[in-house]
Amino acid sequence: MSELAAQLADLQSRFAAAVAGAGDERALDAVRVDFLGRSGAVTLLRRGIGQLPAEERPTAGKEINDVVERLEAQLQDAQGALESRAFDADLSRTIDVTFPAPDAAVGTIHPIRRIIEDVCSYFERMGFAVVLGPEVEPDQYNFDALNIPADHPAREGFDSFWITDTLLLRPHTSPMQIRTMEQHAPPIAVVAPGRCYRRDAVDARHLFQFNQIEGLLVAEGIHFGHLKGALTGMCRELFGDDQQVRFRPSFFPFTEPSAEVDTTCPKCRGLGDACNMCGGSGWIELGGAGMVHPNVLRNVGYDPDVVSGWAFGFGIERLGLTRYEIDDIRRFVESDPDFLMQLH
Ligand code: FA5
């Protein structure tokens, strides 16, 4: 027997003994490192090949490789045996099938989505339809048809993300007024919730992506009192039974007269005092509203001498701040489940 053959025989019997003694996967891995690792016994033998006469080297290399193959196969068998022993042990455990299971984690509707659903449901019960529209609009729908021509300073107020010279991410849901009236003859009664985008700096009251809900009612004989009644009812639905609604004169090119809409602060119930929710005024601002401007009705082919209408546009996140008494609008978009799950 050559010297190498004797060394290989010795190595194999030491290997077999080591594998037999390895009781778990970690011990088996140590055996692999000792024999087949980078500084293991096989590597030492390989280094010895260099000392042999050149003509013996190929045979010696092959002999070592054959042994390595066998060792690897034995390691794999031993690994399989260990796994099946662990599996058997697991099977033989007694399981108490009557033990109560932990509660499954379930999600809830996001508070912003809940407010959208509540407002839609309030208006649907009054016969309004819910309509959805594109978030990318031509300036024609977003401005021109809403009585805001190209040189009108009101365009500056909607600091918009422009995509091309004529296309923009809508900064408000009011284009849905035009889209709806273009497609349907009066009477019209719709609400249109959806995402809006503005180049506003993010702070406690502003996001660059937020949600609005637009409302539009157009028919014969519609007046400001209808608007007041609808919005007062909506505030009571969202915030409680004794909410009041206040209309402050304002300006929007697409409504005349126009108003900013406030509701009594649901925290201090309108008392003001040192309320940190409303800053002591007793009122919270929700959005804009007014009677649809005659030019807007004309732009969609309606006759302002025959029909009239009201419209409003409220920020959903602002409704959320008020409803849940939260002091920072960013909480809604931070995706903190522990925080969001508290709001129902
Ligand atoms: C408008 O967007 C008008 N289209 C509303 C309107 C519709 C008036 C129909 C008349 C008739 P305004 O720019 O004020 O108006 O925005 C309305 C509401 O959107 C604000 O009161 C606020 O609640 C919300 N809002 C506006 N910008 C932001 C913002 N960056 N982050 C969060 N909410 C915002």
What percent of the chain lies above the pLDDT cut of 70? Answer: 100
Query: What superfamily does domain 111-342 belong to in CATH?
Result: Bira Bifunctional Protein; Domain 2 (3.30.930.10)
**Is residue 317 lining ligand 1, measured as CB closer than 6 Å?**
yes
Question: Region 170-197: what's the mean pLDDT?
Answer: 98
Q: Which range among 42-46, 96-100, 259-263 shows the weakest confidence by mean pLDDT? A: 96-100
Please report the atom of ligand 1 found closest to the CA of residue 208: 30
Q: Whose CA is nearest to atom 10 of ligand 1?
A: 289
> CA angle, corner 168, sides to 124 and 147, nearest 5?
70
Q: Whose CA is nearest to atom 15 of ligand 1?
A: 288
Please report the atom of ligand 1 found closest to the CA of residue 215: 9
Q: Whose CA is nearest to atom 27 of ligand 1?
A: 206
pLDDT 10s digits, 299-309:
999 999 999 99
Q: Which of 303, 261, 269, 308 is CA-nearest to residue 285?
A: 261
Please report the atom of ligand 1 found closest to the CA of residue 171: 2
Specify the pLDDT at position 1.
Answer: 63
Q: Whose CA is nearest to atom 32 of ligand 1?
A: 206
pLDDT 10s digits, 35-46:
999 999 999 999
Say whether pLDDT at 56 is over 70.
Answer: yes
Q: How far is the CA of 169 from the centre of ligand 1 (A)?
A: 15
Domain-wise residue ranges, the chain: 3-92, 111-342
245 Cα distance to chain centroid: 32
The answer to whether the bond into 138 is cis (omega within 30° of 0) is: no
**Is residue 155 lining ligand 1, measured as CB closer than 6 Å?**
no
Specify the pLDDT at position 14.
Answer: 95
DSSP code per residue over 175-225: HHHHHHHHHSPSPEEEEEEEEEE--PPPSSS--SEEEEEEEEEEETT--HH
Q: Which residue has the higher pLDDT, 47 or 293?
A: 293
d(CA 19, CA 296): 87
Q: Which of 187, 189, 206, 188 is CA-nearest to residue 198?
A: 206
